[in-house]
Chain A
Amino acid sequence: MYYFLQQLVNGVTLGAMYGLIAIGYSMVYGIIGMINFAHGEIYMIGAFISIISFLLLGILGITWVPLALLLVLLLAMVFTATYGWTVERLAYRPLRGSFRLAPLISAIGMSIFLQNYVQLLQGANVKPLPPVVTGGWVLGRDGTFTVQISNIQVIIIVLTVLLMTVFSWLIAKTPLGRAQRACEQDLKMAALCGVDVDRTISLTFVMGAALAAVAGLMATLYYGVIDFFIGFLAGIKAFTAAVLGGIGSIPGAMLGGLLLGLVEAFWSGYFSTEYKDVAAFCILVVVLIFLPTGLLGKPEVEKV
C-alpha cells in the first residue's frame, strides 16, 4: 500500500510534466491539423533557458529561492515563447496552404535544427544544476519503507494544477480563447467573423511554448541534469499523452499526460525501469489501433 502510494506520487509528478507539454501538441493540432514535431525541442530549450537563468541570477546574487524560482519561471516562459513564435513564423506559416505533409516535414527539420543549435551553443555534455529546492515531507512509514513527497514534487503538482486552471479559463471565457476555439472548429468562418487567423495561430504557438517551458523548468529542478537531447523522448511521450487523451482536446491532453505518467511510474515500480518507455509506447500503439480518437477526443454528432 505504501509502495503504491509512493508510485502514485511519482506518477502524478511525471504526468503533470507530460500534460503541460501535451497541451502544446493538442492545441496546435486542433487549430491547424499538424503535429508540431519540434515541440519537444521547445521544451528542451525551456530547460536550457531555465538553467541559464538560474546561473545568471546566481551571479547577480539573487539567491532567495522563491524569488529566484519565480524569476526563472517568467524568464523561461517569455524566452521559450519567443522561440515557439519564431518557429511558427519561419517554418510553418510560409507553408500554410501548401500540401498537408509540408509543415510536418518542416517540423521534423526544425526539430533537428534546434537540437543541433543547442548542441553547438551549449555543448553536448550533460548540464547539471545543483539542487535548488530541497527537503520534503514523509507521508507514511511502513517498517523501513517511507513514503515521501519532496518539495519539488509539491511545487510541480501545485504549479501544474494552477496553470491548467488558468489556462482552461483562458480558453473557455476570454475572447482570445473563443477565437482559438472558433479557429479550431472552422478556420474559414473564423476569418469571416473578423478573427485575425494568423495572429491567433501565432498566439497558440506562444501559449504552447510557454507551458512547455514550465515543464522544462520542472524537469531541470526534478532531475537536476539536462542535455540537448531530452526533447526527443519527452516530446514523443507527450505526443503519446495527447493521442491517448484525444488529440485536439485540451482536457484530453491533461488527462492523457496524467495517465501516461501513472503508467510509467507503476510500470517502473512493479515491473522494470528499463522497459518503462516500452510500456509508454505500447499505449500509443494500442490507442491508435483501438481508440484512434482517444479518450476525450470523440467528435460530437453534428446535424447538417
Chain B
Amino acid sequence: MLEVEDVHTRYGHIEALKGVSLEVRRGEIVTIIGANGAGKSTLLMTICGNPRASAGRILFEGEDITELPTYEIVRRGISQAPEGRRIFPRMTVLENLQMGAVPNGGRYFEEDVEQVFELFPRLRERQHQRGGTLSGGEQQMLCIGRALMARPKLLLLDEPSLGLAPMLVRQIFHSIVEINRTRGLTILLVEQNAYQALRIAHRGYVLATGQIVMEGTSAQLLADPEVRAAYLEGGH
C-alpha cells in the first residue's frame, strides 16, 4: 500500500533522513521504533509532503505522491495524528473533528463522529469544550479521532503514548488494535515505547540517525539481543 524508496530529507544542511526504504501492506500495523532524534517524525511528515523528500520516491497505492501538495496526499487517504497532537486549541472538540472530516467534505460526519465517540467515550462528554482545555490523554484521543474522521486508508500515528500515564497508554494502544482489527485500517505507528509498539504491531523497523538499521516481524525484533539492549531494557 505504501512504499518508501530511498527517501532523503534535509533541514537546511542537516540530513535528517539518509535513504530510508520501507513498505507497509494493506491491513498491517507496522511500527518504526528508534531513539529521540532518529528521524521518526520527519519520516511521517515527509510521507505527507512537509518537508518534501529531497531524493527518493514515495508510492501510495502505486501512485507516486512524492511531489504532491500535503492536502492532496491527505485527500488520497493518508491521515496523520502528528507529533505533539496539534489539537486546534480554540476550536471545540466537535469542530476539531469537523476539521478531520475535511478530506471527505464532512459527508459522513454524523455517522463517523458517533464511531469516534464509541471508541473514546470521554470525547462525547467533552464535545463542546475547547481543544486547548483538554487533558493530555483526551487530546491524544481527539488527535486520533480527528485523523479517523477522514476515513483514511492509511493512518500514521506519531508517538501516541508520549506523556501519558501507563493506564492511558494501554487504553490508547488497545484502541489502535481495535481500529486495525474491526475496520481493517492499515497503521504505521512511530513509537519510542518500543515494547508496547512491538506487542501490537505485525512488523517493525528500527530507525537510527536517519537510516533503517534493522527490520523484521515483531517477534523477531522482540527477541533480537541488540534491539533488547538498545530499546527494550530498562523496563516498560
Residue picked from A179, A190, A192, most chain B C-beta under 10 Å: A192
Question: Is A168 an interface position by the 8 A CB rule?
Answer: no
Given A178-B98, A303-B132, A189:B50 Cβ within 8 A: no
Closest approach, in angstroms, between the C-beta of B163 and any C-beta of chain A?
A: 9
B residues within 8 A CB of A194? 71, 74-75, 102-103, 150
Q: How far is the CA of A189 from the CA of B152 in the complex (A)?
A: 16
Question: Is A191 an interface position by the 8 A CB rule?
Answer: yes
Question: Is A182 an interface position by the 8 A CB rule?
Answer: yes
Q: Are B82 and A189 in contact (CB under 8 A)?
A: yes
Q: Are A193 and B91 in contact (CB under 8 A)?
A: no
Closest approach, in angstroms, between the C-beta of B153 and any C-beta of chain A?
A: 13
Candidates A175, A196, A302; contact of B132 at CB < 8 Å: A302
B residues within 8 A CB of A192? 48, 50, 70, 74, 79-80, 82, 86
Chain A interface helix/strand/loop/mixed: helix
Q: Are A175 and B103 in contact (CB under 8 A)?
A: no
Q: Are B88 and A185 in contact (CB under 8 A)?
A: yes
Q: How far is the CA of A186 from the CA of B131 in the complex (A)?
A: 13
Question: Is A89 an interface position by the 8 A CB rule?
Answer: no
Q: Are A191 and B86 in contact (CB under 8 A)?
A: no
Q: How far is the CA of A301 from the CA of B69 in the complex (A)?
A: 33
A-B pairs under 8 A by CB, number: 77
Q: How many residues of B contact A (CB 8 A)?
A: 32
Q: Are B134 and A190 in contact (CB under 8 A)?
A: no
Q: Are B132 and A186 in contact (CB under 8 A)?
A: no
Question: Is A181 an interface position by the 8 A CB rule?
Answer: yes
Q: Are A182 and B71 in contact (CB under 8 A)?
A: no
Q: Are A181 and B133 in contact (CB under 8 A)?
A: no
Q: How far is the CA of A302 from the CA of B130 in the complex (A)?
A: 10
Q: Are A191 and B88 in contact (CB under 8 A)?
A: no
What are 28 A-B interface contacts by the 8 Å CB criterion?
A175-B98, A175-B102, A175-B106, A179-B102, A181-B88, A181-B90, A181-B91, A182-B99, A185-B89, A186-B86, A186-B88, A188-B50, A189-B86, A190-B99, A191-B48, A191-B50, A191-B74, A192-B86, A193-B74, A193-B100, A194-B71, A194-B103, A194-B150, A197-B70, A301-B132, A303-B132, A303-B135, A303-B136
